[in-house]
Amino acid sequence: MSASRRPLRRVLLKLSGEALCAPGGFGIDSDELSLLTREICDAAETDVEMAVVVGGGNLIRGAKLARDGLIDKATADYMGMLGTVMNGLALKEALDKAGRPARCMTAVDIPAVAEPFIRGRALRHMEKGRIVILAGGTGNPFFTTDTCAALRATELDCQAVLKATKVDGVYSADPVADASATRFEELTFTEALDRQLGVMDLTALAMCQEQRLPLVVFDFKQSGAIRRVIEGENIGTLVYAADKAA
């Protein structure tokens, strides 16, 4: 059964840490942060209720440190969680200064800088029109921020996960390395899993499939892209559960 696009009233936006740094760079770049803030503020004009999960790869690559044998995997993951908190605080401050109220909530208990993630409180913030930035991953090592996005979207009764990337959707192969790669307009979770397309990590994809939670993969650098996805425009790639239209 083919899926269909529709306007969305509550979403979870998944951002990589690289969304906050210059291409090929490191850290938090003020121009990139300003661009991202403008795009989120523009999307929020639709009165959508929005939560944002942000990664931390622009600040630390815990997985690489673990692979290199320098740091225990669990410790490296906790360090990565702290990186997401730094990104979350930066985005929260930028949104506040742009006139769009935001709250940063974290799964890692850091009361001096952020609220703890409490489902009821997060829902209340969203209902009041505040953008809720979810940092600290799931609060547990061995889980990615993709899995956090699928988990929090389910907890917060979101209608879809919007995965903002540097490419305009899901391709049959790496479009940079393979000129013959083709873009999917839509595909099922089963197809994404069977083809190992790297849309999200396997745990996150399986959770979205089980919860019948649609996923839209799109290029957030296109002007107005976040808003257009929320308004139901046919951009990026829609991934959906095969037995039920998204």
pLDDT at residue number 78: 93
Give the range with max mean pLDDT: 36-40, 168-172, 175-179, 239-243.
36-40
User: In order of start, what are the domains of the chain with their CATH numbers?
Assistant: 10-240 (3.40.1160.10)
- What 3-state class would DSSP assign to 168? coil
Tell me if 236 sits within 8 A of 218, measured CB to CB: yes
Q: Which long-range contacts (CB under 8 A, 24 or more apart) does 24-30 make?
A: 25/58, 26/58, 26/59, 27/58, 27/59, 28/58, 28/59, 28/86, 28/87, 28/90
User: pLDDT of 48-86, one tens digit each?
Assistant: 999 999 999 999 877 777 888 889 999 999 999 999 999
- In which band, very low, low, confident or very high, does the pLDDT at 1 lie, cut at 50, 70 and 90? very low
Residues 6+ apart with CB under 8 A from 226: 13, 39, 40, 42, 43, 162, 164, 220
pLDDT at residue number 3: 57
- What 3-state class would DSSP assign to 112? coil
Asked if residue 244 has pLDDT above 70, the reply is no
Q: What is the mean pLDDT of residues 19-29?
A: 92
User: pLDDT of 160-213, one tens digit each?
Assistant: 999 999 889 999 988 888 888 999 999 999 999 998 898 899 999 999 999 999
Residue type, 206: A
CA distances from 228 to 178, 216, 218, 223, 225 (A): 28, 11, 10, 9, 5
Residues 41 and 204: their CA atoms lie apart, in Å, by: 27
- In which band, very low, low, confident or very high, does the pLDDT at 24 lie, cut at 50, 70 and 90? confident
The pLDDT > 70 percentage for the chain reads: 97
Tell me if 239 sits within 8 A of 218, measured CB to CB: no
| Structure-block tokens of residue 149 | 């996005």
pLDDT at residue number 246: 41
Residues 40 and 50: their CA atoms lie apart, in Å, by: 9
**Residue ranges of E strands in 99-150:** 102-106, 115-116, 131-135
Q: How many CB atoms lie within 10 A of CB 97?
A: 11
Q: How many CB atoms lie within 10 A of CB 196?
A: 8
Residues 145 and 241: their CA atoms lie apart, in Å, by: 21
Q: What is the mean pLDDT of residues 204-230?
A: 95
pLDDT at residue number 243: 66
